[in-house]
């Protein structure tokens, strides 16, 4: 990731897309405290950019491309990231909600700390992605293609799986609360205590009656 000294500071307090040339491509830009509320940055490209303490309420980032970038202490409700691409990007200590990232592509991404409420990754493709010490409620990984993805020290509240490809999905380091779609987790890794704890839920999904 580029250092702050190597980046050009985005001078405006509010990110606006009225100038399409301004909003399309960004290379080595540091957005610090910038208000992205309701900004229309669909299809925009962000290379070696950093967002620090930015507001992303109702932002439109559909189809945007992020490479070698970082989000730090970003917050927002209603973040549209569907069909976006995140490569070699970090998301750290962020507070986000209602993140629509279905059909997106994540590769070499680290999500560390913070909390995300309702993260929709349905149909997304994730490769070599690490979630570390974060809380995610309403995670939707249905129909996702997952490879080399781990949740270490994370709490997943009502995560939903199913009809996806979960090769090398490691859930053994996570706390799973009321998960759904356990029967579809073929290829995933769970710890022995998790398997014991979730046995009744898994049996119910498989239609198995457990006798006392």
Looking at residue 129, what is its pLDDT? Answer: 98
Residues 122/143, Cβ–Cβ less than 8 Å:
yes
Looking at residue 159, what is its pLDDT? Answer: 98
CA–CA dist 74, 62 (Å, integer): 18
Per-position DSSP letters for 2-62, written without gaps between them: --GGGSEE---SB---SSHHHHHEEESEEEES-B-TT-B-TT-EEES-EEES-B-TT-B-T
Per-position DSSP letters for 89-129, written without gaps between them: EEEES-EEEEEE-TT-EEEEEEEESSEEEEEE-TT-EEEEE
Coil/strand/helix, residue 182: helix
Give the domain ranges of the chain: 4-205
Looking at residue 91, what is its pLDDT? Answer: 98
Looking at residue 21, what is its pLDDT? Answer: 44
CA–CA dist 165, 209 (Å, integer): 27
Closest CA relative to residue 146, chosen from 162, 128, 126, 129: 126
Looking at residue 167, what is its pLDDT? Answer: 86
Coil/strand/helix, residue 23: helix
The CATH class of the 4-205 domain is mainly beta
Residues 43-91 pLDDT 10s = 999 999 999 999 999 999 999 999 999 999 999 999 999 999 999 999 9
Residues 131-143 pLDDT 10s = 999 999 999 999 9
Listed as ranges, residues in the chain with pLDDT below 70 are 1-2, 17-23
């Amino acid at each position: 990731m580029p250092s702050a000294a190597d980046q050009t500071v985005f001078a405006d307090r509010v990110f606006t897309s009225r100038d399409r040339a301004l909003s399309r491509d960004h290379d080595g830009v540091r957005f610090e405290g910038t208000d992205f509320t309701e900004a229309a940055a669909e299809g925009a490209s962000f290379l070696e950019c950093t967002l620090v303490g930015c507001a992303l309420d109702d932002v439109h980032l559909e189809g945007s491309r992020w490479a070698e970038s970082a989000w730090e202490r970003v917050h927002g409700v209603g973040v549209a990231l569907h069909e976006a691409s995140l490569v070699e990007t970090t998301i750290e200590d962020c507070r986000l909600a209602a993140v629509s990232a279905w059909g997106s592509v994540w590769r070499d991404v680290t999500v560390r700390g913070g909390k995300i409420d309702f993260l929709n990754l349905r149909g997304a493709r994730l490769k070599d992605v690490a979630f570390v010490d974060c809380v995610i409620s309403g995670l939707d990984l249905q129909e996702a293609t997952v490879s080399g993805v781990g949740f270490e020290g994370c709490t997943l509240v009502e995560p939903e799986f199913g009809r996806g490809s979960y090769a090398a999905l490691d859930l053994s380091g996570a706390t799973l609360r009321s998960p759904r779609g356990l029967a579809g987790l073929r290829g995933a890794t769970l710890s022995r205590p998790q398997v014991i704890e979730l046995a009744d839920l898994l049996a119910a999904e498989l239609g198995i009656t457990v006798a006392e």
